[in-house]
A and B are shown apart, each in its own frame.
Chain A
Amino acid sequence: MIRLSNVSHAYGGEPIVDDLTLSADPGEVVAIIGPSGVGKTTVLRILALFTQPSSGRVELDGQPAWAADEAERLALRRHVGMVFQEASLFDASVARNVEYGLRVRQPWSDRLREGLWSIAGSNGTPGAVREALDVVGMGDKVDQSARSLSGGEAQRVSFARALAYDPSYLLLDEPTSDLDPRNTGVIEEAIREARDRDIGVVVATHDMHQAERIADRVAVLLGDGFTEVGPAETMFESPTDDRTRKFISGELVY
C-alpha cells in the first residue's frame, strides 16, 4: 500500500492539500479528480516520492519514505511506475524504451555484458518487453523508432514502459488528456489489466466520466487544500460534502 497520512503541502504559498489521508492498495484504481491546475500532479509527485510534503507521513509498503536516505528512497521508488501526460519517450526504438526500467534494475556487470552483445549483434527482445507492449496493443511495433509514432501510439508505449518491470504501483498523470477516444479506450483497458494484476493504480484526471468508468475509489481536490476521499459509487451518486456535490453535479452536466 502507498499511504499518505495527514499530509499537508503548499506550492508557492498556495495550499494544495491540507491534512490529506489517502492510500492506494494493490488491485484497486484510485482516481484523483479536480479542475485543471488544482495540484493533482503535486499529489502524484508526493506519491511517487519525488516531492517531500511540508508535513505528514508518506509510507510505501509500511516503510516511511522520508526517514530514509536517498538510496533507500530510490529502492522504494523502484516499486512504482509512472506515466505522464506527455509520453516523453527516448529517442530510440520502442523496444529500447520499454526495456529501460528493466535495464536500470540490472547489476552493472550484466548491463555491460548485454551492451557488448548488442554491439556484436541483435540481442532479441526480452519477454517482459513484448508482454508489456501486448497489453497496449503495440506488440508489432517493437523495432520501430519512437520518433515515428503518433501521439496515441507514443502514450501507449509510455504505458508499456512503466509496466514492463512489474511495478507494485502505477501512477498516471492525465494519461489520456491528449488522446482520441480509441487510444483513450486502449489505455483505460490497460489500466484495468494492471489492476487485475494486483497493481495499485492511481490516476489523476480532470475527466469525470473517465473516473466514473475506471475508478474504485476517488479523491476530489478542489483547491485551497480541500479534499474528500471515498468509494466511487458514493462520490458520484451521493457525495457527503456540499462543495463536492456542487463540483460533481456541475461537471457531470457536461
Chain B
Amino acid sequence: MSMSKQRSDSDRVSRRSFLAAGAAAGVTALAGCSSITGGQSQQERAGVAGETLTLTTTTSTYDTGLLDEIHSGFEEMYGVTVDAVAQGTGAALESARNGDSDVVMVHARGLEDEFLRNGYGVNRRDLMFNDFVIVGPEADPAGIQGMGSATDALTAIADSQTTFVSRGDNSGTHTKELNLWEAAGTEPGGDWYQETGTGMGEALNVANQQGAYTLSDRGTFISQRSEIDLTILVQGPIEGGPESLANPYGIMAVNPGVHENANYDLSMAYIGWITSPGTQDAIADYQVNGEQLFFPRAVSENPDFQQYVPEGWSSDDTEE
C-alpha cells in the first residue's frame, strides 16, 4: 500500500516538474518568437514594411512605362509592393471611391475636383504634366498645320469633314477632346467622326489606317511614332502650342475617413515620395524613343494653393 502511495507521489512530482519545464520552454519560445517578429533591421522599423499599395491610374499613364520605371525606387525604400492597376480614368476614380485602391493618379482635373468635393480624396498634389497634340496625315487636307488654337483646328476639321477618330471612352483624353469641341462651339457628328471606344494606341492605329486626324497624348504618340505615318500638326504647350492642350496629372489619397481600411500611411508615403525632388527629377529623366515624356510640377519655389483644393475654390464658398 505504502509503496504504491509513494510511487503515485513521485509520479505527481515528476508530472509537476514536467509541466513546469514545459511552461518554461513555452515562455522562452514565445519570447524568441517576438524577438524574431520585432526584428530590428533598418527597413522593418518602418511601420508599413511588407504591405502593398494599390494605385489606380489611367491606361495611357500606365502604358508609357513610367510607373514601372520609377516604382522600384519606392518599393526598395520602404520594403513594400506597389500594385499599379491601369483601368482608365473613370474606373480608376470609381475604384478609389469604393475603397478598392489607396491612391489614385489621373489627368482629368474636373473629375478630380468632383472627387475632392465629395470627400473621397484628400491631400491632392499636382504631379506632372505633358500635353496633347493633334496628329494627322502629312497631306493635311483640313489645313490645320501649325495653328495656334486647338479649337480653330477642330473647327477646320469639322468644316472640311475630314475623318476624325475619337476614343469615345470617357477617358482623360476623350474628356479633353469633348471639352475642346464644346469650346469650339461645334458638336461633332456624322460619317467623318468615328468613335472607337479603344485605348490610345489602337485609336492611333485606326487613324493611321484611314489617314484621319485624332487627338493624342504626346507620350503615346511618341511611343508609336515609328510605326505609323501620322505627324504632329498642332503642337501642345510643351512645344509652344496652345495652353488648351495641356494635360496635367494629379495624385490623391483615398480618404481614410470614408474607407477605414485604406492604407493611408502608405499612400502618404507614396505621395511624399513621388512629389519629392529626387523622384520628380527621375520623372523628367524618363524618355521614350529619346524624348522626354513628362514634365514635373510638384516641386516649386512659388506657392501653388490651387493644387490642394478644387479649381476656383475659395474660403468664401459655401459648403455643399
> Do the two chains touch directly in the complex (Cβ atoms below 8 Å apart)?
no
